Amino acid sequence: MSVLSVEQLHTRLGKLHLVDGVSLHINAGETFALLGESGCGKSMTALSIMRLLPEVAHISSGQVMLQGEDILQLPESAMRKVRGGKIGMIFQEPMTSLNPVLTVGEQITETLRRHTDTPTKTHHQQAADLLSAVGIPDAVRRLGDYPFQLSGGMKQRVMIAMTLAGNPEVLIADEPTTALDVTIQAQVLRLLREIQQQRGMAMLLITHDLGVVSEMAHQVGVMYAGELVEVAPRDAFFTQPAHPYSQKLFAALPQRNLNKLANITGSVPALDTVFVGCRFASRCDSAFALCHERPPEWTTLGQGHRARCHLLAQAQSVTVTLTPALNTVAAIGSEAVLVVDDLRVHYPLKRVWLSSHTPMLKAVDGVSFSLHGAETLALVGESGCGKTTIGKAILQLQHATAGRVLLDGVDLAALTPRALRQQRAYMQMIFQDPYSSLNPHLRVQVILTEGMQALGMKVDMADLRYLLAQVGLPDDALTRYPHEFSGGQRQRIAIARALAVRPKLIICDEPTSALDVSVQAQIINLLKDLQIKLKVSYLFITHNLPVADYLAHRIAVMYLGRIVEIGRNDEIMQHAAHPYTLALLAAVPSLTRGQGDVRLLSNEIASAAHPPTGCHFHPRCPQAMAICRQQYPRMTQISPTHFVHCHLLSPQ
């Protein structure tokens, strides 16, 4: 018998169909993964189950059976006991889900008071035990901390501890690792698996990451435009996805043997769309007349595997053709466009009372590399390692404490403000969040021409239209505002703005991390095409190693302000030498590894204000030796292009 059974759930907001006939079943100890792009209705399904809908929305029909009881029929007073008690929910962004003015201990004990009958005097110890259970060290002391005192990974662990306090039968996890580094993501996923096995909970996991689905799910449901289009056991889904939308999601994943990632044209239909035929027909390469005339029924493909597709009903196979690797990589120039030499960015911290020494936070501590024409260098590492600070220091948006930044041989730090302004025409930046980096009060035409006018460049409407065509936007985009575009289109506007002044170097700061896999594929394809056409160089800052492998010529791995390994993408991805690089690669969710466990880093990155002595990585390194604690390793050259800082590889 299913612990949670959802039958024909319909959620409406006026005439809008937010959730349209969703049915799913989850047994004890199993995980059902709900997969799809943003706007498909995944989170709205979870909020409908929890009855946490906005006031203007309502559930028009359907059942949500929890242990045989329809919780949609319960009064609100009884539903309060279900939320946080029988059903727990972990939200996507822990910082906005935790109360910033209450300590961690107060927030966990609040759940214990409401959903357990244990004596109040034991709640403090129970809260400490819960923090210990989710892997937070020194739990008793941490109970007195506020959310801002915790790292992103710890805040998510606190959210999990709060959820477990009610001893739920069902756990709903809504994108629980989206905002986390790959190493912390791996720790949180392993933690959820272990807790599920210990407690036998049913789990509804909402995500757009196929790797996370592979490692966590028992059953998979693919959602599109408010309805499920495919449901299958994990193995069947990853062996042979049946729906064209599912296949497109797989084909959009970065793979080194492909020249072009699959591009799902268009976007998820608006909620007020009146559907006549298949909801995916307008974006499907295999659609035919019937697809636009009648919605498809479920087709059973095997035990537990079914999909909505007219092609499957007619026993026709559906395949997505991938473009094989071709010789279309931009030729790397022989001259270095950018040279970074011993770059250091140190921030003074508050001086200790009665001390003459001013402590320093060493965000970037002696970084050197070069970047050639039409080359992409990916800078990877966990949050807080200094990647973005390097990008800002190169652009002179952040004052460097020491070192040099040479753009075409010109030392940028030695220039006058006026001369530096002219040099900025040759270097631009694409930021992580396209919405916050575009002025919402300005039309696209003004956004694109601002930089050109500031540099005294001539603005020509024909040039602007050509610029929009280069990034795949229509001419009428010039008269529209940023909020009128999708996330992928906004990022295209940000790319067009960077290209408007004809730069030689573009610093891309996590430009795809906030995007769905399908939109990510569009932006990656665009960046690759533009590099071939315009011979522009990219410094690509990311923590997504598959994206770095696909797009970059070389990869540099950073840890606590220093580059610990650098080499060609194949050298880093296939022959990594530094233990930290190996740990990053092991933590990447795998489509083939399934639910097998891997060795993960035992704790989180140290503070740059108090870096460990010797090798900064030694407290987390499983192979650390005595010398690792005493001195920082020198650089070891493995090949003409592969360099690493590690005592394990240093000549004895």
Calpha distance 507→511 (Å, rounded) = 10
Q: What angle do CA 374, 376, 380 make, to 5 degrees?
A: 170
Q: How confident is the model at residue 15 (pLDDT cuts 50, 70, 90)?
A: confident
List Cβ neighbours of 574 (8 Å cut-off, separation of 6 or more): none
Token pair listed for 504:
């030689």
- Long-range contacts: 293-301, Cβ < 8 Å, 24+? 301/232, 301/236, 301/242
Token pair listed for 571:
């050298």
pLDDT at position 261: 85
Predicted confidence (pLDDT) per residue in 41-77, tens digit: 999 999 999 999 988 999 999 999 999 999 999 999 9
Predicted confidence (pLDDT) per residue in 209-233, tens digit: 898 999 999 999 999 999 999 999 9
| 7 has a pLDDT exceeding 80 | yes
Beta strands in 475-520 (DSSP E): 505-509
pLDDT at position 31: 97
Calpha distance 280→291 (Å, rounded) = 9
- Long-range contacts: 64-73, Cβ < 8 Å, 24+? 64/4, 64/5, 64/6, 64/7, 64/9, 65/2, 65/4, 65/5, 65/6, 65/7, 66/3, 66/4, 66/169, 66/170, 67/3, 67/169, 68/1
Calpha distance 155→4 (Å, rounded) = 27
Nearest alpha-carbon partner for 645 in 525, 543, 562: 562
Nearest alpha-carbon partner for 35 in 201, 216, 166: 216
Residue 567's H or E segment, with its range, is strand 562-568
Predicted confidence (pLDDT) per residue in 591-626, tens digit: 876 554 456 676 667 778 888 999 999 999 989 999
pLDDT at position 384: 81
Nearest alpha-carbon partner for 8 in 26, 25, 21, 24: 21
Quick one: three-class SS letters along 264-291?
A: CCCCCCCCCCCCCCCCCHHHCCCCCHHH
pLDDT at position 486: 77
Predicted confidence (pLDDT) per residue in 496-537, tens digit: 999 999 999 999 998 887 788 888 888 899 999 999 999 999
Domains of the chain listed by start with CATH number: 4-86+168-244 (3.40.50.300), 336-645 (3.40.50.300)
More confident residue, 573 or 92: 573
Q: Residue 651 region, left (φ>0) first, then alpha (ψ -120 to 50), else beta? A: beta
Question: Is residue 88 a contact partner of residue 164, using CB atoms and an 8 Å limit?
Answer: yes
Calpha distance 460→486 (Å, rounded) = 26
Token pair listed for 629:
């604690």
Question: Is residue 557 a contact partner of residue 381, using CB atoms and an 8 Å limit?
Answer: yes
pLDDT at position 327: 45
| 354 has a pLDDT exceeding 70 | no
| 136 has a pLDDT exceeding 70 | yes
Quick one: three-class SS letters along 180-213?
A: CCHHHHHHHHHHHHHHHHHHCCEEEEEECCHHHH
| Radius of gyration of the chain, Cα coordinates, nearest whole angstrom | 26
pTM, to two decimals:
0.87
List Cβ neighbours of 598 (8 Å cut-off, separation of 6 or more): 186, 586, 587
- Provide the 10 A C-beta neighbour count for residue 525: 19
| 180 has a pLDDT exceeding 80 | no
More confident residue, 316 or 382: 382
Predicted confidence (pLDDT) per residue in 316-331, tens digit: 666 655 555 444 566 6
> Measured over all CA atoms, what is the biggest interatomic distance in the chain, rounded to whole angstroms?
82
pLDDT at position 133: 84
Angle, helices 152-165 vs 123-133, to 10°: value is 130
Q: How confident is the model at residue 408 (pLDDT cuts 50, 70, 90)?
A: very high
Nearest alpha-carbon partner for 11 in 24, 22, 27: 22
Nearest alpha-carbon partner for 383 in 363, 366, 368: 363
| 94 has a pLDDT exceeding 80 | no
Token pair listed for 637:
């050259």
